[in-house]
């Protein structure tokens, strides 16, 4: 079982729609959760961090965390073609791992006009 698993893509949505990206993790004591956006040929860019159960909103982005079910999701409202990228879910290990991040394999999102 992969430590961090993301829903298989690619995901294609029309412009203006809501894109939903999901991620599950295996380490029950994970404490910090992140979403990175990576454009083709570029490095990952941090777009959301979430540390407690519930929703966190930032502009068109909403991160949702459910530690009991060990999943974290990212919703992108009013999707734009510029949102087309690979989205990486990352989770910190529990215990004394000093913030070590484990990444999922990424989900490719395409927003078509």
Partner 1 sequence: EAGVAQSPRYKIIEKRQSVAFWCNPISGHATLYWYQQILGQGPKLLIQFQNNGVVDDSQLPKDRFSAERLKGVDSTLKIQPAKLEDSAVYLCASSRNYEQYFGPGTRLTVT
Binding site for partner 1 (CB under 8 A): 4, 32, 34, 36, 42-46, 49, 88, 90, 92, 97-106
Query: What distance in Å separates the CA atoms of residue 112 and residue 16, rounded to the nearest whole number?
Result: 9
Question: Nearer to partner 1 by C-beta: 70 or 102?
Answer: 102
**Could you give the 3-state DSSP secondary structure of residue 81?**
helix
State CA 23 to chain mean position distance.
Answer: 6
Question: Nearer to partner 1 by C-beta: 17 or 67?
Answer: 67
Task: For 29-67, give one letter per residue: b (16+ CB within 10 A) or e.
Answer: ebeebbbbbeeeeeebeebbebeeeeeeeeeebbbbbee
Question: Nearer to partner 1 by C-beta: 22 or 102?
Answer: 102
Question: Nearer to partner 1 by C-beta: 17 or 38?
Answer: 38
**Phi, psi for 8 (deg, rounded to 5):** -70, 140
């Amino acid at each position: 079982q992969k430590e961090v698993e993301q829903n298989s893509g690619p995901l294609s949505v029309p412009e203006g729609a809501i894109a939903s990206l999901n991620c599950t993790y295996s380490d029950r004591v994970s404490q910090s959760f992140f979403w990175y956006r990576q454009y083709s040929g570029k490095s990952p860019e941090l777009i959301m961090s979430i540390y407690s159960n519930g929703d966190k909103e930032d502009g068109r982005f909403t991160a949702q965390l459910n530690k009991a079910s060990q999943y974290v999701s990212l919703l992108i409202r009013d999707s734009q073609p510029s949102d087309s990228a690979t989205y990486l879910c990352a989770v910190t290990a529990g215990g004394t791992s000093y913030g070590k991040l484990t990444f999922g394999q990424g989900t490719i999102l395409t927003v078509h006009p």
